[in-house]
Chains A and B, each alone.
Chain A
């Protein structure tokens, strides 16, 4: 069965080289802002190590912290729900809204709801959802998924956003002034905030000892939605816990410096109990996380705090775009999370990397992303999701390389490497040659030279 594949989507993305350059430079600029910010903190590496250790502790004691959080949240008057998977999560949201006779909801940014495809589910059931994060609103108008977890519309140029606003929000044609467009969105969203009875937000951090949760935004849109609605639903991946409130300092210092180079998000809002006459519901979602926790090689991917720095630094992401990962979460982190959910569908993602290791180095919680990409490749091949041609080539290659006689014969017969590597995957139309010349084969191999020039 042929499924969508990163390489093919990346190939399409690369048809417009100027756009690739623009995309690459935009994200590299953010990587540079991150570098500048982190270099102002001599304790940066210690912060990363501390955050990593805190999250390891959380993952090792997750059940205990979840119950502690649930108990304390309930004491505060928050209603806690548990969802085993995306379907249950979506149903809980729908039931809450239906129970109150609500058919319109405002939603601030939550990658979990993207992962669960909540919007589609609600719209299918007659609920209108408006995303209030500006970038999210833009991709929502464009009927596209976000291409980046922090910068959802980073793949869109301002002119394209101007066209969308012209079409949907009635701005003058051809106006692509960012300030004007932002003001338009602000007015449009203001009306939404004022009229919605329900607001959904994500959760960046849930504090076990206090039962509160923290939502980080730059636009204050989570607060606007939550404070103006009578029901606030917070969707939370079950790995979002931290043990104590004092741990927050570590994570808040890391999160936005890693994400955009800002010292902290403009708003880091703590929600601990509902205002009188309103409700707060937290939905704690598993959706494959328990399974990932049970995979020793991949469990620490659950340390992720969704800063997106691995995407900004990834030379492949920058040149293939977020949509080429055909998953809610793109980039290197997406490539190690997605196969857990569907190994066949996402079998291509761990291969969409050169294993350069830059992602692991920028990760604020020190996830060994590139090592996990390597390990996923082994798992995917072992489970039988590699192409048949590739299997045969690899078998042939391993036999030849395990035998000095075969290797030397192969070398003489037209340079072994020319035949198998790096062309091992596909010999039909050598993709190496499309944009690159082949190396000039030398008169003799080093082995042959050595025999002539050095006494054994």
Chain B
């Protein structure tokens, strides 16, 4: 199985440890991983700001980098959702459609493709799980509290395989953190308030770490945690699943 590793731009630039953990975890599970070095961004920051018409260059580059793999895996629900919903090309529409059908967010890939049932990882800490909206409501990584439907969680079931981990309960299990891409600066007041309320929920329940499938939400919450001098850290799901 030949997997192309897609590392979102801000993870590449700011959170290399999340990317390294993703790579190591996939390798540990016997997957041949290739990281196409000319990759940049999925184009979501422009598209969500109303500038989808400017994402043509990003799309072509993405198609060039990621055509031909059996699967494409990324440690981000949000960027994967963007590719699935919005990757298009005038000249290479077939390749774009092929990529959209083969791209997976990490926890979904581990659960649905590799069908991982155990992990050699250990993480003896109290952990709060943040449900990132695009992964949850867009990619259905977990059941959504609004629906009358049986609960499940792909990231949650993987975390259950980690030795020593204690998942803390939350008052609001899947409320948005308020990052929202350019929303975080365009609507600074509401964005920050939403983030504060989210981290308060985790802190109140004694979390030592907050994890999730999207570093962007975690970056936002980390910024608020650090500002208040909290010792609570954020870690990408991959970093916990890869911990030993």
Whether B12 contacts A411 by the Cβ 8 Å rule is yes
Q: Does B212 contact A (CB under 8 A)?
A: no
CA distance A456 to B33 in the complex (A): 11
Contact A351 B40 (CB under 8 A): no
B50 touches A421 (CB 8 A): no
Q: Which residues of B are found within 8 Å of A391, using beta-carbon distances?
A: 51
A374 touches B48 (CB 8 A): yes
Contacts A378-B52, A398-B46 given; does A422 touch B57 at CB 8 Å: no
A381-B192 Cα distance, complex, nearest whole Å = 25
A137 to B16, CA, bound (A): 57
Q: Is the CB of A446 within 8 A of B11?
A: yes
The answer on a CB contact under 8 Å between A432 and B57 is no
B12 touches A394 (CB 8 A): no
A82 proximal to B (CB < 8 A) = no
Chain A residues with CB below 8 A from B166, complex form: none
B222 on interface, CB distance cutoff 8 Å: yes
Interface stretch (choices B95-103, B114-122, B156-164, B177-185):
B177-185
Contact string, A434-456, partner B, CB cutoff 8 A, digits 1/0?
A: 11111101101111011100101
Name the contact of B176 in the complex, choosing from A6, A356, A386 (C-beta under 8 A): A356
Which residue on B lies nearest to A380, using beta carbons? B50
Number of A interface residues at 8 Å Cβ cutoff, please give it.
Answer: 86
Q: With A and B bound together, what is the CA distance between A34 and B13 in angstroms?
A: 42
Contacting residues, chain B, for A449 (C-beta < 8 A): 16, 19-20
Known contacts A354-B180, A394-B54, A398-B55: A425-B48 contact under CB 8 Å: no
Minimum distance in angstroms from B178 CB to a CB of chain A: 6
Query: Is B133 part of the contact surface with A, judged by Cβ < 8 Å?
Result: yes
B27-56 residues with Cβ-Cβ distance < 8 A to A are 35, 37-41, 43, 45-56
A sample of 25 cross-chain residue pairs with beta-carbon separation below 8 angstroms, ordered by A number, consists of A7-B186, A7-B187, A10-B189, A14-B189, A38-B148, A42-B148, A351-B50, A351-B186, A354-B194, A377-B49, A378-B47, A382-B53, A401-B9, A401-B58, A401-B61, A407-B40, A416-B13, A421-B10, A421-B181, A422-B181, A422-B216, A424-B49, A426-B186, A446-B35, A447-B35
Residue numbers of B with Cβ under 8 A of A are 7, 9-17, 19-20, 23, 35, 37-41, 43, 45-58, 60-61, 133-134, 137-138, 144-149, 172, 174-176, 178-197, 216, 219-220, 222-224, 226-227
